[in-house]
Amino acid sequence: MSDVPAGLETLNFSFSDGQPTGAFAPVLVGVVGSGNLEVMLEATASTDCVVRVETSARGFGSIWQAVMTDFHARHPLAGVRISINDMGATPAVVSLRLDQAVAEITGVQP
Amino acid sequence: MISFAECSARERLALLLDAGSFHEWLPPVERVTSPHLAQLGVPSAFDDGVAIGRATLDGHTVFVAAQEGEFMGGGVGEVHGAKLVGLLQRALRDRPAAVLLLAESGGVRLHEANAGLIAVSEVMRALLDVRWAGIPAVVLIGGANGCFGGMGIVARCADFIVMSDMGRLAMSGPEVIEASHGVEEFDSRDRALVWRTTGGKHRWLTGDCDALVEDDVAAFRAAAIAAIGASKPLTLAALEAEHALLASRLHALPADNAGKDEATLLWSALGIVDAQRVPELGVDAVRAMRTIN
């Protein structure tokens, strides 16, 4: 028996070569609705950018890996925890939400 | 003009309240989420579909809750309901100028079964306690999902209801009526019929809401400010007057209504001239047509 709840899949990613983001107020964008997702960014003391995804669409781990790798190439963050609740968003929607969340970080020098 | 219907719950809070004044309790970073949804394979939301907190509105301290209709149709689960109850109970202690509820909900979140049903009943009790304490409870309804089921009852327990013409308020939703009584009784896909019988204009004309506004965040803000002092007496006499109003409405419809539009007949029976024009008229025109005080 897996400890993953039936129907939901949890995915974890970590990137270690980003630029420190510094302190910022938590950011939440998007809504957990059909074909949509919510993305929360929080500052952490770590030097990594860690990502945790909970999704109702099982079996798309390799696509999530690609989307997150692309995101990290666009925005190489460090000291950030990204938490995602997903209800079947397409890769394009996920990328847009991630970019929106980064754009809403305040108190950070570009 | 910014559409209230098209905003998320959090966008409504940001635009309706005094800028930057919203202080959230149990914010998303606390991760107080549903204990039930994951077991059913349904993703949770970090705020369980409702944001609660305090803010200022035109300088007055208010407590406010906003339901997110896109998450589970705004359904009230165990945590979602507990957040509403906690907000209302804290209002008893801190006595804000008003409690605002930006309602958008299909009612009980059926995935959470009895926990959701109990949660809604607790919300009703807490809301009535707030009214009994003399703190106005104001419900704003303008989301695309409307305000139905248990939350429809909660809304009608409040002191003051603001609706847009986009907003809908009822107990059983259109699909529920069609499923239980058949498509001949109610065709849930007939959008004009749905709005004639549950929409903001209908609720205004029948006296079920207290303000009818455009689908505009600024209009909702102005109506909410005006409603801050709108506390109504919570007495047996007021309840009996309400029952009398509802009983007379039940008999207002002419017996010979076969094949005719019942909403139009009811508006006519209430003394509204040119009732058949209501669906095509703008909010300002319909606001002036009300015959009930």
Distance from CA of A90 to the nearest CA of B (A): 16
Across B78-97, average pLDDT: 98
pTM: 0.94
Does an H or E element contain B99, and which? strand B98-103
Q: Which residues of A touch B34 (CB under 8 A)?
A: none
| Gap between the Cα atoms of A44 and B32, Å rounded | 20
In a domain, A95, yes or no: yes
- Domain count across chain A: 1
**Does the CB of A26 have a partner CB in chain B at under 8 Å?**
yes
Give the list of residues 6+ apart from residue B203 with CB closer than 8 angstroms, or none: B161, B163, B167, B169, B209, B212
Across B246-257, average pLDDT: 87
Q: Is the pLDDT of residue B157 over 80?
A: yes
In a domain, A2, yes or no: no
DSSP secondary structure string, A3-64? SSPTT-EEEEEEE-S-EE------EEEE-SSTT-EEEEEEE-SSSSEEEEEEESSTT-HHHH
CA distances from B105 to A105, B17, B151, B159, B276 (A): 30, 21, 6, 19, 29
pLDDT tens for residues B99-153?
999 999 999 999 998 999 999 999 999 999 999 999 999 999 999 999 999 999 9
Write down the residue that tokens 């919510």 correspond to: A38
At A15 the pLDDT is 97
**Does the CB of B22 have a partner CB in chain A at under 8 Å?**
no
Amino acid at A81: R
**Does the CB of A9 have a partner CB in chain B at under 8 Å?**
no
| Gap between the Cα atoms of B212 and B214, Å rounded | 7
In a domain, A45, yes or no: yes
Q: Which 51-80 residues of chain A touch chain B by CB within 8 A?
A: 54-56
ipTM value of the model? 0.90
Write down the residue that tokens 């409504």 correspond to: B12
Domain ranges of chain B: 9-169+209-231
Residue B24 binned pLDDT confidence (cut-offs 50, 70, 90): very high
In a domain, A48, yes or no: yes
Amino acid at B148: F
pLDDT tens for residues A62-104?
999 999 999 999 999 999 999 999 999 999 999 999 999 999 9
At A109 the pLDDT is 47
From B28, B38, B70, residue closest to A33, measured CB to CB = B70
Q: Residue A92's domain is classified under what CATH number?
A: 3.30.230
Bridge partner residues of B121 (DSSP)? none
From A26, A40, A85, residue closest to B43, measured CB to CB = A85
Residue B275 binned pLDDT confidence (cut-offs 50, 70, 90): very high
Choices 3.90.226.10, 3.40.50.1820, 3.20.20.70, 3.40.50.300: CATH for B9-169+209-231: 3.90.226.10
DSSP β-ladder status, A37-43 and A27-30: antiparallel
CA-closest candidate to residue B166, choices B149, B135, B141, B130: B141
Residue A6 binned pLDDT confidence (cut-offs 50, 70, 90): low
Give the list of residues 6+ apart from residue B50 with CB closer than 8 angstroms, or none: B9, B65, B66, B67, B68, B80, B83, B84
At B51 the pLDDT is 98
pLDDT tens for residues A28-41?
999 999 999 999 99
In a domain, A1, yes or no: no
CA-closest candidate to residue B64, choices B50, B53, B77, B76: B53
Name the residue range of residue A90's domain. Answer: 9-103
